[in-house]
Structure 1
């Protein structure tokens, strides 16, 4: 048995970066700052998030820098070759399966939509 599940709650660090493809697919990338509960004086941990399709559109419409969100997903690594030095590079990315908008209704206009999962749409 294998398990690759990550659950995070934090504040969004950047406005969503949304890209639309000719195939109809949509991808949204953003960053999430998560404070450690054991030491409030430490700087937050930063995570790169990637959302696809319906969740990406939801994030584009309702999530902004500073929004409080919760996510559940899995860890993956993106790999590429540096264009200038030709050195292999990689970065960890959370592939989001579930997005929850956690701020108050005054923080966003969601028309009652709070949780979005890939298999719901």
Structure 2
């Protein structure tokens, strides 16, 4: 059995950026700052988020820098070759399946939207 599930709660590090593809799909990217429970003085851990489809649209419309959000997804490692040095590079990315807007309506201007489960109605 294998399992790759990530749950995070934190604040958006910047406004979401969205890209639209000719296929009709959309991709939203942003960073998430997550504080460790063990120490309040440490710097937060930063995560790169990748959100696809209808959930990407929700993110674009309701998340802003500083918004408190929760995400559920899976960890993937992106790899590439640095064009300047030829070195292999990699970075972890969280591919988000579920997005929860945790701030107040006033903070997020959510107009009643509290969470979005993506295209999977069983969640």
Q: Under a length normalisation based on structure 1, what TM-score does the superposition of the two structures give?
A: 0.95
Partner residue in 1 for 2:27: 27
| Cα drift, residue 87 of structure 1 | 1.3
Partner residue in 2 for 1:37: 37
5+ long unaligned stretches in structure 2:
none
Task: Kindly indicate whether residue 81 of structure 2 is the aligned counterpart of residue 76 of structure 1.
Answer: no
| Cα drift, residue 58 of structure 1 | 0.6
Q: Give deviations 1:16-67, integer Å, cap 9, x for gaps.
A: 1110000000001100000011110111000000000111111111101000
| Cα drift, residue 85 of structure 1 | 1.1
Structure 1 residues 28-107: aligned runs within 5 Å: 28-107=28-107
Q: Under a length normalisation based on structure 2, what TM-score does the superposition of the two structures give?
A: 0.94
| Cα drift, residue 76 of structure 1 | 0.3
| Cα drift, residue 109 of structure 1 | 2.3
Task: Kindly indicate whether residue 115 of structure 2 is the aligned counterpart of residue 115 of structure 1.
Answer: yes
CA distance in 2, matches of 1:85, 1:42: 33
CA distance in 2, matches of 1:7, 1:62: 20
CA distance in 2, matches of 1:110, 1:11: 16
5+ long unaligned stretches in structure 1:
none
Match of 2:19, SS state, is strand
Partner residue in 2 for 1:15: 15
CA distance in 1, matches of 2:41, 2:109: 32
